[in-house]
Amino acid sequence: MANFCWLSEKSSYENSCDELYDWLGLIGLLLEAEISKKSKDFPVAQPLENIRFRREASDCHLPILHLQHRLELSDFTVFCAVLACASGFDPVFSRLFHKLTGREKPDLGLALRLFRHIKPVKSSEIYTLSHPESSARLLFDLQGDGHLEKLLLPELLTFQVLEGEVCSGSLLQGISLWRSEEEKASKGPYPKEQAAGLSKLISRVHLGKLDGCGVILSGSLGCGRKDALRAAAAEQGLPLVFVNVNVFNEKTEKESQRLSRAVLLLAAATDGAAVLYELSATYKPSQSLCSLVEGCRRFCPLFFLISHEGIPALLPLEQDVVELCFPPDSTLQRRKLWQELSEEYLLETGTDVHKFANKLRYTAGDIKKILRRAYINAQSQGRNAINSNDIWAGVRLHNAGEISGQSLTRVSCVFSWDDIVLPEEPLSLMHSACDRIIHAHTVNDVWSFGKKLPYGRGLSILLYGPSGAGKTMSAQVIAHELGIELYKVDLSQLVSKYIGETEKNVSEIFDFAYRTNCVLLFDEADSLFTKRTEVSDANDRYANTETAYLLQKIEEHRGISILSTNLLSNMDAAFRRRFTYIIGIPKPDAALRLNIWNKVFPPETPVRLQSGFERLAEKLEISASSIKTIASDAAYRAASEDSPVNYEHIRQAVKVEMLKQGTRMTEAELNAL
C-alpha cells in the first residue's frame, strides 16, 4: 500500500504546491480506506475544514483556491478535477483506480464513492459537471460512461494550472501566454495614444467597473497593435493569452473545442485576457471559435480581437464591445519610426532614412524586417554599415514575399529622366506628380493640409496616347524617381466571369499595394474604362458595377495608381474627373524623334555614321518604341559582322520594323534615309 502524506501537522501552506499535495494526499487516503474496507476508520476528520483553515492561514498564492473562486467551483468539482489528473502526478494512483474499478482512469462513480466519506454530494453538483454552460467543463469532460476524461492536451498544461507553475511562451499550437514580469514589452516604437487608452481601459477592469468587455483592435498589418497592447498590459500587470484563430480551421470540431476550453482555463488561472488575432471583417469563424468568444465574455474580465479590416461581422459580439482603430501612420510618425528603428544599426555617412519615410508607407513591423534584410545584405558584401542601396534591396525582398495571385508582374524600372524624351508639358506634369509624393510630409503634416483631405490622399495618374509613344516608360520613370517598385496588373486575370470575383481580385490588388507601397500600373485599361454601357441586361449592369468599384478603390487608395489608355475619347468623362493627373504622351514630332535617335544608342555602342540622324528623324514618322526596336536590331546586325553600327544596319532594321507595321519599303525609299 502506498504511503500518502496528509499535511495536518502544518498550520499553513508554505508554497503553491502544498495545496495540491494536500488534495492528492487526501485522495490517496480515501482510496486506501476504500480498498481496505475501513472507510469508517478514515484517519482524517473534517478534511475540507482543515484545507480551508490552512488556506486562510497561508500568505502564498494558492492556484487551486484561486481557480475555485474564479470559476465558482464547488468542493466536489475541485475534488473531481484533482482526481482526474492524479495519475499524472503519481503513477500509483492508476494502480489504485484499477484495484477499485478495473480501469486505470477514474469515473464519476468512483468520485462519488470517495467523496461520500467527506460529505454528501448534492444532485445539482453532479448535474453541473455535465452541463455544457458550466465552468466545470473547462477542467474535464464527463463522457457518457461516466469517465472523468482530462480535457486539455498536452497534459502538462493541466498540471501547470493546478500547481500554479504556468510558464510564459507557447503552450499549445496557436496559443501562447505573455506575462510582463517574465517577458519584456516591446522597446520599439508603438502607437502611444492607443496604448494609453488601452491602459486606462484595463485599469477600469481592475477596479471592477467593467467585466466581460471585448475590445476590437482594428488596423493594417504591422501597425503596432500587439506592441501597444503589450505595453498597456505591462503597465497594468495583465497577463495575455494570445490565440491565432487560424488554428481552428486546421482542427476537428472536437479538437477545436478542447483548444477553446484550454484558452479559457488559462485565462481564468492567470487572471489574464484572451487575445484573438488574425481576424478580418470577412472572417468565417467555426462554431468552436464562436463558443470561445462567448466563453471570453463569461470567464475573462477583458478580451481583445485583432482584426485587419474592421469588426468581424460573423462573431457573436453583441453590445459589450468597443472598437479601437489604429489609423495609418502619418509621414511624421513614419519618420520617427525609421529614425528609432535604424538606431540599432550602423548607417553609412549620408544615408538619410527620412527619405524612405517620405516615399514609403511601411508599418513598424515592416520596417524592422526591411532593416534586418538590409543589414544582412551589407554583411554579405563585407560591410558593417548599411547604405541606401542595402535598404532598397531590403524593400525589394520584402515586397517579393508579399506578392499574391497571378495578376501582378514586377516591372524593372531602369529608365530615369535622362532616358525619356517628351514635350515640356507632359514632363512638367510628371514632375508635379512626383512632387506630391516627395513633399507629402510638408503639405499634409507640417502645413496640416492632410486634415482637410481625409479622403483621396493618394495619387492617380491617367496616361493617354498612341501605342508605342512611351506610356509604360513614363510609368517606369515615375517609379524610378520615387524609388518605388512598379507592378503591372494583368487585367485578363483581374476580371472574372463569376459575380463578385472581380471585386475580390481588385481588393486583393490594392491591399497588396498598400502593404508593399508599390506603384500599380493598369496598362491598356481601355477594356475597363470605356464609356459606360447602356444597361440592357444583368451582365451590362454588373460590368458597370465592376468599373465603378475599381475607380472607387483607385480614389480611396493612399498610394500611387497609373492607368494607360490609347484613346482618351473612349473614356467616360465621369471617370476622367477622378484622376489626380491626366497626362498626354503624344507621338513624337521630328524634333523629338531626333532627340530620341541621339540618345537611343548607349555610349559603349560603337556607331560609325557618315552623317547624323536628321534624315531618319525627318522621314520616319514612327514612335519612340519603334526607334528603340530599330536601334536594338541594328546593333545585333553589327555585332554579327563584328563591326560598328552603320547606316546599312539601320536601314535593314527599319525595313523589318516597317513590315511589322504593314508597310513594305522599296530600296529607293530605304536608300533615301
CATH number of the domain within which 336 lies: 1.10.8
Residues 571 and 608 in one domain: no
**In this model, does residue 647 exceed pLDDT 80?**
yes
Tell me which of 163, 186, 201 is where a domain ends.
163
Mean pLDDT confidence for 110-136:
82
pLDDT at 372: 94
What distance in Å separates the CA atoms of residue 600 and residue 596, rounded to the nearest whole number? 6
Same structural domain, 317 and 362: no
In this structure, is residue 232 part of a structural domain? yes
Average pLDDT over residues 289-311: 83
Query: Comparing C-alpha atoms, which of 88, 70, 19, 73 is closest to residue 47?
Result: 19
* Domain co-membership, 180 together with 281: yes
pLDDT band at 124 (very low <50, low <70, confident <90, very high): confident
The pTM score is: 0.65
Query: What was the pLDDT predicted at 535?
Result: 46
What are the φ/ψ torsions at residue 219 (nearest 5 degrees)?
160, 180
Q: Does one domain contain both 260 and 175?
A: yes
What was the pLDDT predicted at 129?
75
So what's the pLDDT on residue 153? 35
Inform me whether the pLDDT recorded for 90 exceeds 90. no
The C-alpha atoms of residue 615 and residue 213 are separated, in whole angstroms, by 80
Is there a single domain that holds both residue 341 and residue 207? no
Distance separating alpha carbons of residues 637 and 101, to the nearest angstrom: 95
Let me know if residue 103 belongs to a domain: yes
| DSSP code string of 112-127 | HHHHTTTS---HHHHH
Report DSSP state, residue 581.
E
Name the residue with cell 478514515. 42
CB 476 within 8 A of CB 413: yes
- The backbone torsions φ and ψ at residue 298, rounded to the nearest 5 degrees and listed phi first, read -90, -40
Percent of residues in the chain assigned helix, strand, coil, to nearest 5: 50, 10, 35
Other CB atoms within 10 A of residue 90 CB: 15
Three cell numbers, residue 617: 528623324
Q: What total number of domains does the chain contain?
A: 5
Name the pairing type of β-strands 169-172 and 175-178: antiparallel
Distance CA 394, CA 351 (A): 15
CA-CA distance, 32 to 45, in Å (whole number)? 16
pLDDT at 226 over 80: yes
Beta bridge partners of 343: none
φ and ψ at 363, to 5 degrees? -85, 175
Residues in the chain: 673
CATH code, domain carrying 544: 3.40.50.300
259 pLDDT exceeds 70? yes
Are both 445 and 306 inside the same structural domain? no
Q: Is the pLDDT reported for residue 430 higher than 60?
A: yes
State the pLDDT confidence band at 150, using cuts at 50, 70 and 90: very low
Integer Cα distance of 24 and 83 in angstroms: 8
Q: Is 621 helix (H, G, I), strand (E, B) or coil?
A: coil
C-alpha cell at 508: 486583393
Q: Give 304-332 as a DSSP string.
A: EEEESSS--TTS---SSEEEEEEPPPPHH
Asked whether residue 443 is assigned to any structural domain, the reply reads yes
Specify if 230 maps to a domain.
yes
Residue 418 lies in a domain: no
Q: Say if residue 465 is in the same domain as residue 570.
A: yes
Q: Per residue in 374-404, pLDDT tens?
A: 999 999 999 999 999 999 889 888 877 766 5
Cell numbers for 182, please give them.
Answer: 517574465
Does residue 579 surpass a pLDDT of 50? yes
Phi-psi region of 122 (alpha: psi -120 to 50; beta: other; left: phi over 0): beta
Can you name the residues that pair with 150 across neighbouring β-strands?
A: 140
Cell of 254: 472536437
* 408 found inside a domain: no
For 166-193, what is each residue's pLDDT tens digit? 655 555 677 888 887 655 555 566 778 8
Q: Which of 317, 251, 320 is closest to 288 using CA atoms?
A: 251
Identify whether residues 455 and 572 lie together within a single domain.
yes
Q: Is the pLDDT of residue 547 over 90?
A: no
- The β-bridge relationship of strands 408-411 and 486-489 is antiparallel
Cell digits for 531? Answer: 464609356
In DSSP notation, 153-168 reads: SSHHHHHHHHHT-PPS
Closest CA to 596 of 643, 562, 630: 630
Residue 155 confidence (pLDDT) above 70:
no
Asked if residue 209 and residue 144 are part of one domain, the reply reads no
For 586, counting Cβ atoms within 10 Å of its Cβ (0-12 exposed, 13-18 middle, 19+ buried), the class is middle
Average pLDDT for residues 10-17, to the nearest whole number?
77
Mean predicted lDDT score pLDDT of the chain: 81
From CA 420, how far away is CA 411, in angstroms rounded? 17
Which residue's C-alpha cell is 544596319? 649
Task: Answer yes or no: do 322 and 335 share one domain.
Answer: no
Residue that finishes a domain, picked among 163, 178, 201: 163
The stretch 422-435 carries a mean pLDDT of 94
Residue in this structure with the C-alpha cell 503591372, named with its chain if needed: 488
580 near 460, Cβ under 8 Å? Answer: yes
Contact between 484 and 514 under an 8 Å Cβ cutoff? The reply is no
Q: Comparing 32 with 370, which gets the higher pLDDT?
A: 370
Q: Which three cell numbers stand for residue 555?
A: 480614389
Contact present, 462 and 565 (Cβ < 8 Å):
yes
H or E element, residue 233: helix 225-236
- Measured in degrees and rounded to the nearest 5, phi and psi for residue 573 equal -60, -35
Asked whether residue 404 is assigned to any structural domain, the reply reads no
| Rounded alpha-carbon distances, angstroms, from residue 448 to 97, 330, 478 | 75, 11, 26
pLDDT at 640 over 90: yes
Query: What average pLDDT score do residues 112-127 get?
Result: 85
Q: Are residues 187 and 48 in the same domain?
A: no
Domain boundary at 563, 584, 605, which? 584
What CA–CA distances, in Å, run from 644 to 173, 379, 611, 628?
67, 42, 14, 17
The amino acid at 22: D
Torsional class of 628: left (φ above 0), alpha (ψ -120 to 50), beta (otherwise): alpha
pLDDT at 247 over 90: no
- Neighbouring C-beta atoms of residue 170, cutoff 10 Å: 10
φ/ψ bin of 655: left (φ > 0), alpha (ψ from -120 to 50), beta (otherwise)? alpha
Average pLDDT over residues 624-635: 94
One-letter identity of residue 39: S
Calculate mean pLDDT across residues 260-269.
85
* Residue 93 clears pLDDT 60, i.e. is over it: yes
Please state whether beta strands 213-219 and 175-178 pair in parallel, antiparallel, or not at all (unpaired). Answer: unpaired
Residue 206 has pLDDT above 80, yes or no: no
CA distances from 329 to 280, 325, 341, 358, 578 (A): 20, 12, 15, 11, 25
The Cα–Cα gap between 93 and 105 comes to 9
Domain harbouring 611, CATH code: 1.10.8.60
Rounded to whole angstroms, the Cα distance separating 152 from 339 reads 46
* Contacts (Cβ under 8 Å, ≥6 apart) of 205: 211, 213, 301, 302
Phi, psi of 208 (to 5 degrees): 80, 15
Residue written as cell 472607387? 552
Give the span between the Cα atoms of 141 and 138, in whole angstroms: 8
Instruction: Please check whether residue 403 lies inside any domain of the structure.
Output: no
Which stretches does DSSP call E strand in 400-511? 408-411, 459-464, 486-489
Cell numbers given for 374: 538590409
Q: Give me the domain span that covers residue 650.
A: 590-671
Range from 114-123, 287-296, 494-503, 543-552 carrying the lowest mean pLDDT: 494-503
Query: What is each CA distance from 432 to 459, 478, 577, 597, in whole angstroms?
Result: 11, 10, 18, 27
pLDDT band at residue 152 under the 50/70/90 scheme:
very low
C-alpha cell belonging to residue 311:
469588426
Same domain, 460 and 508: yes
* Grid cell locating 578: 477622378
